[in-house]
Structure 1
């Protein structure tokens, strides 16, 4: 079957847009071809600095012939209905057939040449291409990321002819801007196209460009006894900047190495797209860099390296200026400056946020084994570097620079480390801090973010999460689990919600109606300035206090449910079942460490025959109780009348349930969840025997009530471990 080769050749495409553009080209073209009836074997897509390329193998030469039967109106329907059906089908009344009083139309459509379908699909794709940013040039209406120059469209051995805003399709493309011949050349198919591009110094595949960069950069470093500081993000970017990438080792002024290494690396990466270089003898940065050129210089790149070194020196001089000025300014001035920086219109300034974090860090400190005074001090300093010149230039260094500045000022290492690392973990692969002081500040920072935005109802919706609350919650969960922090989350949430809700109303940032609705008769002293929308509540307002506590408790439950969802995501990524998280959370436990241990024990229990069979027994008991409850009230829970138990199987179950309750309670108290599951496992045989040998719905009322109570006890003792009704499968 013929092959389709499509190339869209333009001026330089920004590197950050190339991967997305490749996916969009693949998606749009394959969807349109498939919708038109053109099946294919495989589709590959490539993106580079000046071209997007799509190759599709195994396309037929034409779409298949189609034949379908359409059902129309009844023969007794009004003429208007029939006329509409005829317009839809393009047929006349004589061409219709009638069966059982209904009109039917048989539509036969001949297949279309694939080239015709391809031309339409390319035109529609190009005109509707979803670039993040695009431009229009000349007098045409076409928009593209940069001016579109050529379109190669070859199907089989023939050019698919079409025109888009004066750009005619063809079989000619161009090679490297500087290293190529400078002349257009024709291509027959993908293999020919790829080979000729390489001759013209263009590497089509981004993965091959990355491999060439990495191999070459390592080689030029090794030649000097150095090591490349690898950076996957930077590698991805520079692979989109050069069609024929050539790594060159350059030298920088060694005096800049007394700057923090993160500053040097970020200056190289952000401004110049250079790789840093390490000296393996001391594992510190070396006074060198690797630049990826798009040319092969005749002097081996010496002049190019020297020019890039001069540009880097200018950048690093700027960084040194920020460093020196920041050391002169210091934390007091930065903290004062935060008073004028708005964190959020409803949540106040950064200075107010710092106060909240400091208070919360002090509360958390004893839970993680940190000193409360140090935790409060570190939290008060954690956000100060946001007002520094260096972080203003490099926002990625927030926290990191605060740690350096604190060390330069003679602060204790533990406090400097806590400031440096309090944003961690910022992603699923980020390292989790373990130092108690750092854990306290990191937890306080993330919890304040979550409580604050939940308090003002700025929660994530669908795929939208503008304040990164899902990431913050996952950060809290990882900090808690990986450090074994035993914290009653709901109590922490409620206390913080109560504090922040009071602050919002005292400072007039919450609407009057929300607080007063339904409570006005019971509120004592309320002073409201409607013009200012400011509300002042007195501490003697009992109604308001009740309302605040209710609001705080409701929002705490809401946030805890949000944590349950995030925990399910984390555990699912680890291969655990999310329904088990629901079953444990339903008990009202808010200790994440204990919850995960329960989930792990429950998962292991259900993987056994005893667990699976007991779950089936639980469901049978629950279904019987549910059915009986529909008939009338169930008997009151209480002790079993052993004298009324007439069968051995029910007496055996009554004894086993009583023993299981004692054993399960003891195991749960000791947090021996595996032991609790083992106690439940011993119920399996008596439960199975009960259902085999005992009729629950006895005609004798006392027997029926006792047996229902027995099933209620089975349900309740199992419910002490987890809510088994939440478990699927």
Structure 2
């Protein structure tokens, strides 16, 4: 069979401005959904490329088959024994099947199967032309896009993320006939809204990129992003500094521009008296500007904006952006100067006016609980209790300042500045910012024990309180960020590291709530919730502490509540799992567990009677156990679990010999009980590290 003819495909959906935060995702999803539709329609194709700008989603696909391949279709009918009577005449079943196929009974074939013979009809079905299928396939691909809320426009019933103004679909040089989203397909695209508002007629998909670039549209997201970065970096270098390029801001600017042109703007140096984080937040979050830093990392009085137009008067564009930023900076400077008039310590009382949660009271009440809990933690980890008490009391005070009221993301950061201005010790000022760390997955941890104590206390208090009022996260809903809080506590305890018991922490936090809140009643639930987060923490392949699922299960089976101790055991068992003895010892532990579980409780004693040791194999096992008992116990007390497992690995041969040569469940009760006592001691030793019986063969 000769190969089917192929042609390149272009699909472009022209819209009003698409949401910038969703543009990259929509572009990739459209490409993937369209390829899925083509594959399901049996239309062979080559490589696909996605394109996107604020006003378009487009896909080009190389070497698309211009028709489906012909298909041999087999339709099965009734069984042969039901299709003909004793005289060989066709029954109603055979006649009806033939009629439904549009042929005579004589044209039917027989299909032999292990379950008997069947009538069947085989015929060749010609493939549909791709041009006839494409409008429907494109519609289905668009319907599959991840759009949370679709909109309608005009008097049309069709829906999309934004109103659609044109649809261009070309297969080779041919226009694909039909409609998509209620619009007739055309070979027209559009250039830049201002530089080239006229429609552009495309002769073939291969003309797409050149035509749009000539019309001041760069349709490739990656190319546009790279161009913006290069322009921004070059302008920053001309200004004598380096651009501060936040990836999220760069992505958003890329999604907002079709033809990006970077411009350098300036502002009065007097604004630099305001903390740089405030100016940077204003530039990045509000204006989508790129700040410029000098060689020492200090903010320079300039910024870089990216315009979506190649203006004939760039000075006017620059001046306009400078006019926009100036009042925002002036407001920030005013807030800064006004906030400095009231020391941070004098603002604590105002927290009484902010509700933390209507059932759990105000931020001042939460602050008092966190003060008590963090002071206790400080005593446990060796931090200065008085300094911790002071820092915890000031930790939320910046929430009532004008600056944080305007720039909520700067909570903690402004607390540090206001504490420094009030003459608080550096360690206290730093703790006010760092107790919010980590803010997200993979974020840095607090650098001092004082900050760590407050960070843990703040989150544990929230966990206990929210669970106590029955607001546990469900599904994807987690309005109080409890998942993030639990993981942060675990990271602080494990990665710092801090040898604190999680149950004790929760009990201490619960004791801080009034009797009207049954905080103590939720401790087990919060503990289990946190342990479940621990499972995900170790299951994360990107985490350098990641471990196999059976290793995690083997350690967590012990019901431990100190995350640092759990971490050390998981690390040790993960290493042990790779040893050649691991599989045999895991199997022996599993056999031991099963025998002990089935044995009557009355026969499970702790004492081994040496006079009842009959076989050489059991004597050898007992001797090996006694020889390593004290060494292993000492290693367990030191939490040196790797060394303990290394010692226990030496039991492999004597344990194999024991199970091969000794009948544990002997008929004589005393002999059976003595052998079960040997296994009980063995199990106790291994359970000092983990339930090795749960390890799977690697």
TM-score normalised to structure 1 length: 0.85
Secondary structure of the equivalent of 1:13? coil
CA distance, structure 2, for counterparts of residue 72 and residue 432 of structure 1: 72
Contact 1:621 1:711 in 2 (8 A): yes
The yes-or-no answer on 1:466 pairing with 2:436 is no
CA distance, structure 2, for counterparts of residue 249 and residue 700 of structure 1: 93
CA distance, structure 2, for counterparts of residue 40 and residue 165 of structure 1: 24
Secondary structure of the equivalent of 1:8? strand
Secondary structure of the equivalent of 2:437? coil
Give the total of aligned pairs. 673
Which among 69, 73, 86 is matched to residue 67 of structure 1? 73
The yes-or-no answer on 1:119 pairing with 2:135 is yes
CA distance, structure 2, for counterparts of residue 129 and residue 90 of structure 1: 39
Secondary structure of the equivalent of 2:503? helix
**Who is 1:294 aligned against?**
308
Could you tell me how far 1:171 is from its partner in structure 2? 1.8
Residues 677, 126 of structure 1: alpha-carbon distance in 2 compared, 3 angstrom cutoff? closer
Could you tell me how far 1:316 is from its partner in structure 2? 0.8
CA deviations on 1:6-48 (whole Å, 9 max, x unpaired) are 1111222221120222133234323333333335444332221
Residues 74, 339 of structure 1: alpha-carbon distance in 2 compared, 3 angstrom cutoff? farther
Contact 2:456 2:489 in 1 (8 A): yes
Residues 303, 398 of structure 1: alpha-carbon distance in 2 compared, 3 angstrom cutoff? same
CA deviations on 1:462-482 (whole Å, 9 max, x unpaired) are 444333222212211222223
Could you tell me how far 1:128 is from its partner in structure 2? 6.5
Which among 360, 366, 372 is matched to residue 385 of structure 2? 372
The yes-or-no answer on 1:177 pairing with 2:189 is no
**Who is 2:646 aligned against?**
678
CA distance, structure 2, for counterparts of residue 398 and residue 342 of structure 1: 16
Which among 5, 27, 44 is matched to residue 10 of structure 2? 5
CA deviations on 1:350-393 (whole Å, 9 max, x unpaired) are 23222222222122111232222322222222222223222222
The yes-or-no answer on 1:480 pairing with 2:448 is no
Contact 1:261 1:285 in 2 (8 A): yes
Contact 1:560 1:590 in 2 (8 A): no
After TM superposition, the structure 1 stretch with the greater mean CA deviation from structure 2, 336-345 or 4-13, is 336-345
Could you tell me how far 1:135 is from its partner in structure 2? 3.8
The yes-or-no answer on 1:720 pairing with 2:688 is yes
CA deviations on 1:567-603 (whole Å, 9 max, x unpaired) are 3245773242233222222223222222211211222
**Who is 2:359 aligned against?**
346
Which among 192, 200, 215 is matched to residue 200 of structure 1? 215
**Who is 1:593 aligned against?**
564
**Who is 1:51 aligned against?**
56
CA deviations on 1:585-644 (whole Å, 9 max, x unpaired) are 222322222221121122222211233332232233334445x54xx6672222222222
CA deviations on 1:388-410 (whole Å, 9 max, x unpaired) are 22222221111111211222222
Which among 258, 261, 267 is matched to residue 276 of structure 2? 261
Residues 676, 501 of structure 1: alpha-carbon distance in 2 compared, 3 angstrom cutoff? farther
CA deviations on 1:476-531 (whole Å, 9 max, x unpaired) are 122222322110111111232354373426xxxxxxxxxxxxxxxxxxxxxxxxxx
Residues 621, 2 of structure 1: alpha-carbon distance in 2 compared, 3 angstrom cutoff? farther
Could you tell me how far 1:236 is from its partner in structure 2? 0.7
**Who is 1:708 aligned against?**
676
Could you tell me how far 1:200 is from its partner in structure 2? 2.1
Could you tell me how far 1:557 is from its partner in structure 2? 3.8
**Structure 2 matches for 1:26-425, cutoff 5 A?**
26-64=31-69, 65=71, 67-69=73-75, 110-126=126-142, 129-164=145-180, 167-180=183-196, 182-189=198-205, 191-280=206-295, 282-298=296-312, 301-329=314-342, 331=344, 334-425=347-438
Could you tell me how far 1:318 is from its partner in structure 2? 1.8
After TM superposition, the structure 1 stretch with the greater mean CA deviation from structure 2, 425-434 or 456-465, is 456-465
Residues 618, 115 of structure 1: alpha-carbon distance in 2 compared, 3 angstrom cutoff? same
The yes-or-no answer on 1:456 pairing with 2:469 is yes
**Structure 2 matches for 1:544-559, cutoff 5 A?**
551-559=521-529
Two-structure CA RMSD over aligned residues (Å): 3.1
> Unpaired runs of 5+ in structure 2?
1-5, 83-91
Contact 1:40 1:56 in 2 (8 A): yes
Contact 1:33 1:117 in 2 (8 A): no
Residues 143, 326 of structure 1: alpha-carbon distance in 2 compared, 3 angstrom cutoff? farther
After TM superposition, the structure 1 stretch with the greater mean CA deviation from structure 2, 700-709 or 421-430, is 700-709
**Who is 1:544 aligned against?**
none
CA deviations on 1:233-275 (whole Å, 9 max, x unpaired) are 1111111111121211111111111111011011111221110
CA distance, structure 1, for counterparts of residue 652 and residue 116 of structure 2: 63
Which among 11, 15, 22 is matched to residue 17 of structure 1? 22
CA deviations on 1:176-234 (whole Å, 9 max, x unpaired) are 22334744231411x32112222222222211111111111111121232111121111
Contact 2:228 2:254 in 1 (8 A): yes
Residues 678, 209 of structure 1: alpha-carbon distance in 2 compared, 3 angstrom cutoff? same
CA distance, structure 2, for counterparts of residue 555 and residue 499 of structure 1: 18
Could you tell me how far 1:669 is from its partner in structure 2? 0.9
CA distance, structure 1, for counterparts of residue 425 and residue 72 of structure 2: 79
Contact 1:3 1:59 in 2 (8 A): yes
Could you tell me how far 1:92 is from its partner in structure 2? 8.5
Contact 1:6 1:152 in 2 (8 A): yes
Which among 422, 445, 451 is matched to residue 432 of structure 1? 445
CA distance, structure 1, for counterparts of residue 157 and residue 540 of structure 2: 48
Could you tell me how far 1:130 is from its partner in structure 2? 4.6
Contact 1:497 1:556 in 2 (8 A): no
Residues 616, 572 of structure 1: alpha-carbon distance in 2 compared, 3 angstrom cutoff? farther
CA deviations on 1:74-95 (whole Å, 9 max, x unpaired) are 999xxxxx99xx99x9669987
After TM superposition, the structure 1 stretch with the greater mean CA deviation from structure 2, 418-427 or 584-593, is 584-593
Which among 565, 585, 590 is matched to residue 619 of structure 1? 590
Contact 1:45 1:53 in 2 (8 A): yes
After TM superposition, the structure 1 stretch with the greater mean CA deviation from structure 2, 559-568 or 206-215, is 559-568
Could you tell me how far 1:460 is from its partner in structure 2? 3.1
Residues 694, 370 of structure 1: alpha-carbon distance in 2 compared, 3 angstrom cutoff? same
Which among 588, 595, 606 is matched to residue 638 of structure 1? 606
Contact 2:279 2:329 in 1 (8 A): yes
Contact 1:495 1:552 in 2 (8 A): no
CA distance, structure 2, for counterparts of residue 375 and residue 103 of structure 1: 85
Contact 2:265 2:303 in 1 (8 A): yes
CA distance, structure 1, for counterparts of residue 423 and residue 657 of structure 2: 73
**Who is 1:531 aligned against?**
none
CA distance, structure 2, for counterparts of residue 495 and residue 70 of structure 1: 72
Contact 2:49 2:59 in 1 (8 A): yes
